[in-house]
Each structure stands twice: as structure tokens, then as C-alpha cells.
Amino acid sequence: MKIILRVLAACSIAAVPGLPAYAADTYPAKPIRLIVPFPPGGAPDTFSREIAQQLSRDLKWTIVVDNRPGAGGNLGVEAAAKASPDGYTLVFGQTSNLAINPSLYKKLPYDPAKDLTPIGLIASAPLAIVANNSSPYKNLTDVLAAAKAKPGTVTFGTPGNGTVAHLAMELLQKQVGVKMQHIPYKGASQALTDVLSGQVEIYIGSVPTVMGQIKMGKLRGIAVTSGKRSPQLPNTPTVAEAGVKQFEADTWFGLLAPAGTPAPIVARLNAELNRVLQVPAVRSKIEAEGGQVLGGSSAAFAGLLQKDLARWRVVVSDSGATID
């Protein structure tokens, strides 16, 4: 019976291009650690656990989710970058800790382009710009007109200095040629409280953090930063629809391994990730958190990372944002 099972396993792995037969019997031979560089409960944790659970159900793999929050995600990514490149340590990465932090932090203990191997993209998610429902700003055109008329007086809140939300607004201001006043918070909760009370005029953050208040009629959706409208906020136009052409500032999420992880293992993980992302329950979970399922090749992910490292480097420099 054991011989038959081994033959069947080898046949299933052979379907993955470029994967040698020896990998069928050797990987994975022990539990896989998936580092999530953020606390439990947010979108990164939700996405990671859903994918890990589906892989475990389908393949009987043991995947241990290891939350390593701290320093804007840097601690968890550093742990993965310095781990043995044997396929038994993976990390959940996103725009902030991979494409922005290398420019934002003066000293970063890892180089995402050199110390990590992209496996595959998981999802992307837009940001939403919102205002109090009683605000005079009915749309993005109103906001930008006010910013042009009185430079530096329109206030916008974000979940923090140097976040994707902050830098997306810096990018928008640069592209349009206006200046607004940034009010950074430590997370979304207090920022939204201040928008609802009228102390801050607009807020930009993830779709799930504002979706409920929009549906209750307390917040007004001004715009989303994706190329297409968010399925969760179908009545909120994109920034491009509001007249700022070719503007797009999504945040993306992906799976990576330490640099030097054997190509056959990367290929196997990529194939399984793409398969799992087609499972309806997984897609529904990601979409419920405001994400759009992506998938794709390791090479495509690597290309996006290189592109966004260069893109956000300019935005960070122009904004003057920095973290010691």
C-alpha cells in the first residue's frame, strides 16, 4: 500500500512543470511555518489562515501560522529573510512591508528584492476615500477644488505616517497639483471617530474599515483608488472616474520564501496557491475583506515588486516621510 501511495504522489507532482520526481517524496516532510508580520484579526491574518487551512484540508499539510507583528511588518519579514531556504518557512508580504518600507525606514534589516523569493500574488485591495455624510464634499472633484482654493487647509486622516493610505494621498496631491494637511493616526478607529465628529474632513483607508459606516449612511464614499470600482462599494467611483486619469494605488498581498529556496519547491507552492485561490470559499473570504483575488506566476510577482519598489521610492522621497 505504501508503495502505491508513493507512486500516486509522484504522478501528481509530475504534473507541475519543472518539478523533479525527488520532490514528491521529500516535500513537505514536516510542518511549514507561515509568518504573518501583523497581529491576528486583520486582512493579512485572515487571508493567510484561509489559505493555510485550505491547503491543510486538501493536501494534509501541516501549516502553522506564526504572527510576528512589529516595526510596520519588518520583524516578521526579517525572520523569514534570515530563515533556512528549504521551503519550510514562508512569509505573507504586502505593499507596505515589501515595496514601501525599504524607502521609508533609514535602516532596514532585509532587502526584499534580494533576500526573498516571490511565490505568488494572493490579492489586491483598493483604498477608499470617505467623508462625513453631512460634509459639503459630495465627490472627489469638490475635495480637490477646495484644496486648490485654500492650499493646506483640507485635512485628511490616515492609519499612520508612511502607510499605503498616506502615500496614496501624497501621490494624488502630486498628480493633481494640490496640497492638503495630513493627520496621521495609529490605526483607523480614532481617525474615523474624528471624521464622523467633523474634526477631520476626509479619511483614506481600507474598504472593510469604512464599508459598514457607508452602508449605515454615516460616511459618504468619495472615491476608491483601484482601476475598477470595488464590488463592496459599487456606488463609489474610482479616482480615475473622478477625473484624475490613470491613477491607481492598490495594496497587494503575496506569499514569499527565503531567497535560495529550491525552484521545484517554489513551483509546487505556486501551483498549489493558484489552485487554492480558485476555491469558492477562499475567494469569498478574500472578497469579504475587500480583496480581489489575483494569483499568477512567481515571475509576475517579482516584476510587480521591482516596479513598486521604484514607484514608491519616489513617492516616499517627495513626501518627506521617514521612520527611524
pLDDT per residue as tens digits for the range 56-67: 999 999 999 999
Same domain for 143 and 283?
no
Average pLDDT, the chain: 90
Q: Is residue 171 part of a domain?
A: yes
**Residues of the domain holding 185:** 127-224
What's the grid cell of residue 199?
Answer: 474634526
pLDDT per residue as tens digits for the range 267-279: 999 999 999 999 9
Same domain for 120 and 259?
yes
Same domain for 156 and 118?
no
Residue 24 confidence (pLDDT) above 50? no
Same domain for 121 and 258?
yes
Same domain for 120 and 261?
yes
Phi-psi category of residue 87: left, alpha or beta, with phi > 0 → left and psi -120 to 50 → alpha? left
Same domain for 120 and 135?
no
pLDDT per residue as tens digits for the range 124-157: 999 999 999 999 999 999 999 999 999 999 999 9
- Cα angle 195, 221, 290; round to 5: 105
Average pLDDT of the segment spanning 303-319? 95
Q: Is residue 157 part of a domain?
A: yes
Domain boundary among 209, 224, 239: 224
Same domain for 209 and 260?
no
HEC states along the chain? CHHHHHHHHHHHHHCCCCCCCHHHHHCCCCCEEEEECCCCCCHHHHHHHHHHHHHHHHHCCCEEEEECCCHHHHHHHHHHHCCCCCCCEEEEEEHHHHHHHHHHECCCCCCHHHHEEEEEEEEEECEEEEEECCCCCCCHHHHHHHHHHCCCCCEEEECCCCCHHHHHHHHHHHHHCCCCEEEECCCCHHHHHHHHHCCCCEEEEEHHHHHHHHHCCCEEEEEECCCCCCCCCCCCCECCCCCCCCCCCCEEEEEEEECCCCHHHHHHHHHHHHHHCCCHHHHHHHHHCCCEECCCCHHHHHHHHHHHHHHHHHHHHHHCCCEC
Same domain for 121 and 132?
no
| Peptide bond just before 136 cis, omega within 30 deg | no
pLDDT per residue as tens digits for the range 198-247: 999 999 999 988 988 999 999 999 999 999 999 999 999 999 998 899 89
Q: Is residue 18 part of a domain?
A: yes
Residues facing residue 204 across a β-bridge = 129
Same domain for 158 and 177?
yes
Instruction: Give, in order, the Cα–Cα distances in Å from 201 to each of 131, 147, 148, 176, 195.
Output: 6, 11, 15, 19, 6
Q: Is residue 234 part of a domain?
A: no
Q: Is residue 185 part of a domain?
A: yes
pLDDT-based confidence at 25, cuts 50/70/90?
low
Q: Is residue 238 part of a domain?
A: no
Domain boundary among 183, 206, 224: 224
Same domain for 12 and 83?
yes
Question: Which amino acid would we find at residue 58?
Answer: D
pLDDT-based confidence at 188, cuts 50/70/90?
confident
Count of the separate structural domains present in the chain = 2
CB-based contacts of 156, cutoff 8 Å, min separation 6: 129, 169, 180, 181, 182, 183, 200, 201, 202, 203, 204
Same domain for 87 and 135?
no
Same domain for 6 and 114?
yes
Q: Is residue 324 part of a domain?
A: no
Residue 320 confidence (pLDDT) above 60? yes
Q: Is residue 165 part of a domain?
A: yes
CATH of the domain at 164: 3.40.190.10
Domain boundary among 177, 209, 224: 224
CATH of the domain at 112: 3.40.190.150
